[in-house]
């Protein structure tokens, strides 16, 4: 593995997770919350978030692949869909990182086709680049410039997901 420069320490992430979980506890009280974790990158973040929740929720998973072709935006392909009945539910989509917003936009449309009541986004890292117009991040951990980051679930060619901190290679 290449050397990784720490960007957000374990302690910083823990504090941020606590803050976000507090907001979710407040905002989703008495809602029909389904947390959907986008595989594989968000599992670490998501598992830390849910252990801080004091409200009822169900959990589900979705897997998508994004292809960066010659165009500036990648094409998204659904590899594994959710399995719970989503009709009338309040979905909180948990994602590791939002780059162009193409993935979130795709998943949002997919959930509205499943007749959900609402969709909100909880994203560990938001890149400060131009986004798809329909994407607003409701719960954001950290904002970064255009760096490529790894750790705490985020990978580079499948590696570095197990690092307890977020760093740059
Ligand atoms: P988007 O669809 O352009 O927003 O891309 C989002 C996806 O690209 C994320 O779910 C990640 O899998 C991947 N990605 C984007 N930037 C990074 C990064 O800095 N590190 C690791 N994965 C990234
Ligand atoms: Mg991802």
**pLDDT attached to residue 73:** 55
* Ordered domains of the chain (ranges, CATH): 11-144 (3.40.50.2020)
Residue with tokens 């869909």: 81
C-alpha 158: how far from chain center: 17
Of residues 99, 138, 146, 155, which has the active-site annotation?
99
> What is the mean pLDDT of the segment spanning 93-112?
95
For 14-68, what is each residue's pLDDT tens digit? 999 999 999 999 999 999 999 999 999 999 999 999 999 999 999 999 999 987 6
pLDDT the model gives residue 71: 47
Which residues, 6+ apart, have CB-to-CB distance to 104 below 8 Å?
93, 95, 98, 121, 123, 132, 135
Distance 106 CA to ligand 2 centre (A): 12
pLDDT tier at 109, thresholds 50, 70, 90? very high
Please indicate whether residue 99 is annotated as part of the active site: yes
| Ligand 1 pocket test target in 4, 45, 99 with most atoms within 8 Å of CB | 99
Please write the tens of the pLDDT for every residue from 117-145.
999 999 999 998 867 777 899 999 999 99
pLDDT interval class at 150 (50, 70, 90): very high
- Total Cβ atoms within 10 A of residue 49: 23
Question: Three-state DSSP class for 110?
Answer: helix
Q: Residue 70 has what pLDDT?
A: 46
Cβ atoms 75, 66 nearer than 8 A: yes
**Most confidently predicted of 1-10, 23-32, 69-78:** 23-32
Q: What is the dihedral of CA 17, 20, 25, 27, to 10 degrees?
A: -160
Radius of gyration (C-alpha) of the chain in whole angstroms:
15
DSSP code string of 59-83: EEEEEEEEE--SSSSPEEEEEE---
């Amino acid at each position: 593995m290449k050397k990784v420069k720490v960007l957000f320490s374990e302690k910083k992430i823990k504090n941020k997770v606590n803050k976000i979980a507090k907001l979710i506890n407040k905002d989703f009280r008495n809602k029909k919350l389904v947390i959907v974790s986008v595989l594989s990158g968000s599992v670490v973040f998501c598992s830390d978030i849910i252990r801080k929740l004091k409200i009822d929720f169900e959990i589900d998973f979705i897997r998508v692949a994004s292809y960066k072709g010659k165009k500036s935006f990648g094409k998204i392909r659904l590899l594994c869909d959710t399995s719970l009945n989503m009709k009338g539910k309040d979905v909180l989509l948990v994602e590791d990182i939002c780059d162009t917003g193409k993935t979130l936009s795709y998943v949002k449309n997919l959930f509205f086709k499943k007749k959900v009541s609402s969709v909100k986004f909880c994203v560990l890292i938001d890149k400060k680049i131009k986004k798809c117009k329909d994407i607003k991040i409701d719960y954001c951990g950290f904002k970064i410039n255009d760096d490529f980051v790894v750790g705490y679930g985020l990978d580079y060619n499948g590696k570095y997901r197990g690092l307890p901190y977020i760093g740059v290679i």
